[in-house]
Amino acid sequence: MLNYIMENKDWLFSGAGVTVITLVLSLLFKRKSSAKLDASLNQQVDLKEAGSFQSVSPKELTEVEKVAERFRTILELMNEGRSYSQFTIPQLAQIMKLHKISELENVFTGRTEPSFTFIEDFCKTFGVCKEWLIEGKGAPYSSDTPSKSDPMDYLSLIEEANPENIYFVRENSDTAPAFILLKVSKWKYLILRRTWHISDAVGAGGQRQLYSFYSLIKELRNKRRLHTSCWGLTLSKDEFNSLLCGQKFPGKYTDAGFSEDPWWDDLTDINHKYPIAENYEQWHGKSFIKAQEIIKWYMSERKAS
């Protein structure tokens, strides 16, 4: 080929020769490009088919793996918003008084299937919903505590629990529903899921409940045999509902960055004797003032009868 080019170099490097050479090289380049494009398209089709197959047939988790995943979720919830002093598996194992940390580690990783006794002990220790942990039904911290319409009916339950702290949790809205949260320990809470409106958005039954709520606060605040403290917490609607429904670990709102709102104590100042009483409407809203008026009216009605 080289000899042929040397012998015919004058013709090859003429105008006609250059045209022929350019045409030949262009055809060769197009064939190579077409072959590369076909190979690339085939590779993409193979990847799409593989991805489609994977999405159609994902690996189904075993029941043990699902339970292990829920155990890990509990630890994540307990540490949500906690930048320091986080809970760890060894710490939880120590709280449960297990002989070996590996007993809990193996459950968290799915290596060991926990017995019903083990699950019950874990749930009782950390205030976790057993039905959720076993079957995924309900919410992690949903409570099965019997609902009582009258706040004072919870007094004996609270005394029996003897919590470290009692939180009166209020929604930041005009209707202002509220519920009671008990902190039994740093790692265990009890949500009393019944709500009462701390506003004028109540009927005859709600008026009685408002007075009962007022009476419960005064009773708990004055009980010396309870080694506990009362605190207030006001949350947005979303946060309020998440906590009430047991979707969040209560410690997220009562530990790191906790800001106490003494609305519950202000509520008992129905005659506005505190020096700060002039700020109640600004702090808590008009419906709060009306709730105090309802309590005063109900008390006068009781005295009259």
| pLDDT tens track for 280-297 | 999 999 999 999 999 999
pLDDT-based confidence at 135, cuts 50/70/90? very high
Task: Judge if 118 and 169 occupy the same domain.
Answer: no
Residue 260 token pair: 């106490």
Task: Judge if 121 and 196 occupy the same domain.
Answer: no
Task: Judge if 112 and 248 occupy the same domain.
Answer: no
What single letter denotes the amino acid at residue 219? E
Calculate mean pLDDT across residues 80-87.
89
The pLDDT score that the predictor gives to residue 227 is: 65
- Total of domains in the chain: 2
In a domain, 28, yes or no: no
Q: Is the per-residue pLDDT at 11 higher than 50?
A: no
The pLDDT score that the predictor gives to residue 29 is: 47
Boundary-marking domain end, from 88, 111, 135: 135
Q: Decide if 171 contacts 177 (C-beta within 8 A).
A: yes
The pLDDT score that the predictor gives to residue 15 is: 53
Task: Judge if 205 and 170 occupy the same domain.
Answer: yes
Boundary-marking domain end, from 105, 135, 165: 135
Boundary-marking domain end, from 109, 135, 161: 135
The pLDDT score that the predictor gives to residue 302 is: 86
pLDDT-based confidence at 39, cuts 50/70/90? low
Calculate mean pLDDT across residues 153-175.
95
Q: Any idea which of 14-23, 56-65, 139-148, 255-264 has the lowest mean pLDDT? A: 14-23
Task: Judge if 292 and 158 occupy the same domain.
Answer: yes
Calculate mean pLDDT across residues 103-120.
97
Q: Percent of the chain scored above 70 by pLDDT?
A: 80
Task: Judge if 128 and 155 occupy the same domain.
Answer: no
The pLDDT score that the predictor gives to residue 5 is: 47
Task: Judge if 267 and 217 occupy the same domain.
Answer: yes
In a domain, 142, yes or no: no
Q: What is the average pLDDT score of the chain?
A: 86
In a domain, 169, yes or no: yes
CATH of the domain at 106: 1.10.260.40
Task: Judge if 82 and 218 occupy the same domain.
Answer: no
Task: Judge if 283 and 179 occupy the same domain.
Answer: yes
Q: Please report where in the chains the tokens 């290596």 appear, as a residue.
A: 111
Calculate mean pLDDT across residues 94-108.
97
- Helix (H) and strand (E) counts in the chain: 15, 4
Task: Judge if 162 and 88 occupy the same domain.
Answer: no
Give the DSSP letter of residue 151.
Answer: G
Collapsing DSSP to helix, strand or coil, 291 comes out as: helix
pLDDT-based confidence at 41, cuts 50/70/90? very low
Residue 75, domain extent: 63-135
In a domain, 146, yes or no: no
Task: Judge if 106 and 181 occupy the same domain.
Answer: no
Task: Judge if 180 and 249 occupy the same domain.
Answer: yes
- CA 181 and chain centroid, separation: 16
